[in-house]
Amino acid sequence: MNKRTIKYIVIHCTATPSTTTIESIKHYWKEVRKWGNTAGYHYIIKADGEIIQLLPEEVNSNGVYLHNSECINVAYIGGVDKDGKPKDTRNKLQEDAMFDLIVRLTEKHKDAKVLGHRDFPNVAKACPSFDVKTWLANYTPDVKPI
């Protein structure tokens, strides 16, 4: 398998309630979007902060149209309010897990830029329902005692 050149680590939301299951998201991709077994993201972060890898990084996911070959796609479950409007619904566990995963991925893919889905040209959606650059600039990780 060809090694992919990763230019972007892209942050997404699932645009679902935070209680949505990964199985129901996979069902949506397969049955509604007709993506077969291809996932929208490489990693998904559950409400409890658990990170689930859905695809190997060597495989394209369906995260950013026309850019999938150069992206690692990461999503948190959530991103909408009770009325389905865009809202940053991440809790502290998801934020911490997301930050840790971004650190791991940027160490592995040193030249990759971290962007939100909405930061790409011609993307007419609010995903991931927060400004990634501002969040990263202001996020303070918890310091865990050794």
Cβ proximity of 5 and 70 under 8 Å: yes
Mean per-residue pLDDT, 46-52: 96
**Domains along the chain?**
8-138 (3.40.80.10)
Q: How far apart are alpha carbons 46 and 40 in whole angstroms? A: 15
Q: What is the pLDDT of residue 86?
A: 96
pLDDT of 62 strictly over 90: no
pLDDT of 1 strictly over 50: no
pLDDT band at 136 (very low <50, low <70, confident <90, very high): very high
Which pairing describes strands 8-13 and 43-45: parallel, antiparallel, or unpaired?
unpaired
Q: What is the pLDDT of residue 3?
A: 80
Mean per-residue pLDDT, 68-75: 95
pLDDT of 131 strictly over 50: yes
pLDDT of 87 strictly over 80: yes
Written as six digits, the tokens of 50 are 């658990």
Mean per-residue pLDDT, 11-29: 92
pLDDT of 10 strictly over 90: yes
Mean per-residue pLDDT, 98-118: 96
Cβ proximity of 64 and 71 under 8 Å: yes
**Strands, DSSP E only, in 17-143?**
43-45, 51-53, 71-76, 113-116
Using a 10 angstrom Cβ sphere, with 0-12 exposed, 13-18 middle and 19 or more buried, the burial of residue 26 is middle
pLDDT of 80 strictly over 90: yes
With residue 10 as reference, give the H or E element that holds it. Answer: strand 8-13
Mean pLDDT over each residue of the chain, to the nearest integer: 91
Percent of the chain with pLDDT over 90: 75
Q: What is the pLDDT of residue 39?
A: 82
